[in-house]
Amino acid sequence: MRSDETLKQLRTHKATLARRFGVTRLALFGSIARNAATSDSDMDILVVFDGPSTSKRYFGLLFYLEDLFGCPVDLVTEKALAQWVAPLCGAGSYLCLMPRNGKG
């Protein structure tokens, strides 16, 4: 699957993802984002919820996306990712994963 196809599908389901799961932002990363995915690749998605990342929201979204795309999804919350990225960044450094202005 190519990144443009994936992003188009995500945009099509944007309202449903917000209403059902409280999704405010999504970012695609990994092999699909780089257009380097193989038939064995999973889909890597960063998610931000409008409130707590409850099990119901997290797993509901995970299963929804796996059904939608027909492949395994590695769903990562912004908070969980920050724990991994912070040690890799020096003082004053940051990693901009996606715009916060909602465009795109």
Per residue of the chain (104 residues), give pLDDT as tens: 788 899 999 999 999 999 999 999 888 888 888 888 899 999 989 898 999 999 999 999 999 999 999 999 999 998 887 766 555 444 444 333 334 444 44
Q: How far apart are CA 65 and CA 57, in angstroms?
A: 12
Q: How far apart are CA 16 and CA 59, in angstroms?
A: 15
- Alpha helices (runs of H) in 1-104, residue ranges in sequence order: 3-12, 14-21, 55-69, 78-85
78 alpha carbon, distance to own chain's centre: 9
For 55: left if phi > 0, alpha if psi spans -120 to 50, otherwise beta; the answer is alpha
CATH number of the structural domain 3-88: 3.30.460.10
Q: What pTM did the predictor assign?
A: 0.78
Q: Which residue has the tokens 């059902």?
A: 20
Task: Report the chain's terminal Cα–Cα distance, integer Å.
Answer: 19
